[in-house]
Amino acid sequence: MADCGKSSLCAIVPKEVKLDQEVLSCLFFPQTAPISARAGYWTLEQGLVSHARAGIERPIERNFHISSTFGMFYSLLERGDMSKPVHGVGTRHFVVIVQLGYYLVTMPNLRVPGLGRDTSLYKFVSKKQLSPYKKNRSCSEYAMEEEKEEEEEESGVSDMGSERRVYDGRKKLGPSDSFLPGLHDDVALTCLAWVCRSDYASLSCLNMRFNSLMKRGYLYDLRKQLAIVEHWVYMVCDPRGWEAFDPRRNKWMTLPKIPCDECFNHADKESLTVGSELLVFGRELFDFAIWKYRLICQKWVKCEGMNHPRCLFGSGSLGSIAIIAGGSDKNGNILKSAELYDSKTGRWEMLPKMHSPRRLCSGFFMDGKFYVIGGMTSPTDSLTCGEEYDLKSRKWRKIEGMYPNVNRAAQAPPLVAVVDNELYAVEYLTNMVKKYDKEKNSWNVLGRLPVRADSSNGWGLAFKACGKELLVVGGQRGPEGEAIVLNSWCPKSGVQNGTLDWKVIGMKEHVGVFVYNCAVMGC
């Protein structure tokens, strides 16, 4: 690790600043930081600005805030040039702030003069147990692998003395070059991991090394180890195909069209997210098929088929694995078999069979175990029991009366979601949200949905977990036409006078009122 930032760190941090969690939250997430931390935040900012002024020729504007640091970075990305200052701010200011953020977050054992083990910084990082980032590959190994792949993939590269250039005139970066000027790759990659996912396309356009970094998916692995998660909503609500919604930026993005046949394109489909993949299940001309959208390469590829292809199943995902249970085969037989999908290998594994066959059921993970509830065991018989699968013992346990809402054949599978290991569900006929009591095996009514579910028996409505919040995606008709509205509610906020404080976080106009498929991916 380079020592260039240690002396800067001593000069940056004023003695009167208490580097606690609230001040750090101001540094990285100023829009959500508590008011009580502002004093320390502004003091910290002035220390940064004063230090940066000494290192650049052009003075920094007084109203330049730490909160605009990543805004500055985004401006650089949009312009495609990271070598020049933006808005009169020198590169050194950006480097100093990013260095500070890196040390505060990832260096709990940092030993520098003036920052001993008695400081609040050490106590904070010790309390949060933020250990230094440990990679599976060192930066030198990463750079060597990168160089090897580029040599294999690229043509038109020639040796010109000690400096290699491609035919388009751009310098080819070597292992010693950093992604960010003045920062060691360890620091730079950690900083880049905090960049919003919606900026990855811009990052890949900066130069060949950034492009290679994006294609490898290295930042997603790093984000996972640093517990950096952004939840995006993927949905289909019109024939134009899949779209992604970034709630943090209120930004919609269109995914490439699935290169499938017309039969798959017009058939009913089911979907789930696992790892950094979006899986879409449907039927082609002769059999069932699965297409997956790989977030890393941003393209659709054909997924390996299940051992027992099916539809109308229950499913849930946890990290890099997903479980599919029940459903119907292509001949209409109701199944009680289950399969596990591993996104790391792309393979399906058969699991022990459930106690009862069921279709039109729902699945989810809770407390590290997989559950299936609801569904039909025959064209006329509904199931009120649930089943729990323990991944360690590889056994199913039947839970009588876990889902007493009887499914009619015309009703959708149970609309369920899990937030903080608590199960929530929608009761179609009453448009109410209910919470499951694990100890009593019963349901408690919380409040009303922000949209109606009874008019369509639950079809065309999405009820999902989105981080720490519940998400309801449904259509509405108004004076300006039809629209799909995304509403969220945080269970931690509680129930106020029998009502839930739903907030509109997004809207898609002129796309109808029916949500065909919806899934949430956090990575």
Tell me what pLDDT residue 178 has: 64
- Is there a contact between 292 and 274 (Cβ–Cβ < 8 Å)? no
Confidence of residue 377 (pLDDT cuts 50, 70, 90): very high
Query: What pLDDT sits at residue 147?
Result: 52
Residue 196 neighbours by CB under 8 Å, 6+ apart: 230, 246, 248, 249
DSSP string, 163-199: EEEETTSPBPP-TTS-SSTTS-HHHHHHHHTTS-GGG
Strand partners for 389: 370, 396
How wide is the angle at C-alpha 495 spanned by C-alphas 492 and 496, nearest 5°?
Answer: 125
What pLDDT is stored for residue 259 in this prediction? 93
Cβ neighbours around 263 below 10 Å, total: 13
Burial class from Cβ neighbours inside 10 Å (0-12, 13-18, 19+) for residue 84 reads: exposed
Give the span between the Cα atoms of 436 and 425, in whole angstroms: 8
With a cut of 50, say whether residue 43 has pLDDT above it.
Answer: no
- The answer to whether 492 and 446 are in contact (CB under 8 A) is no
Residue 220 structure tokens: 């997603």
Three-state DSSP class for residue 162 = coil
Percent of the chain with pLDDT over 90: 43
Domain locations in the chain?
Answer: 4-128, 139-225
SS3 370: strand
Q: Do residues 461 and 474 touch, judged by C-beta distance below 8 A?
A: yes
Reply yes or no on whether the pLDDT at 422 is more than 80.
Answer: yes
Residue percentage of the chain with pLDDT more than 70: 64
Q: What is the pLDDT of residue 407?
A: 57
What pTM did the predictor assign? 0.70
Tens-digit pLDDT profile for residues 83-133: 444 343 344 444 444 444 444 434 343 333 333 333 333 333 333 322 232
Q: Which two tokens stand for residue 500?
A: 């839930």
Give the pLDDT confidence of 439-488 residue by residue, as tens digits: 999 999 999 999 888 777 788 999 999 999 999 999 887 777 889 999 99
Most confident of 9-23, 125-139, 433-447: 433-447
Q: What is the pLDDT of residues 260-285, one digit of tens each?
A: 988 898 889 999 999 999 999 999 98
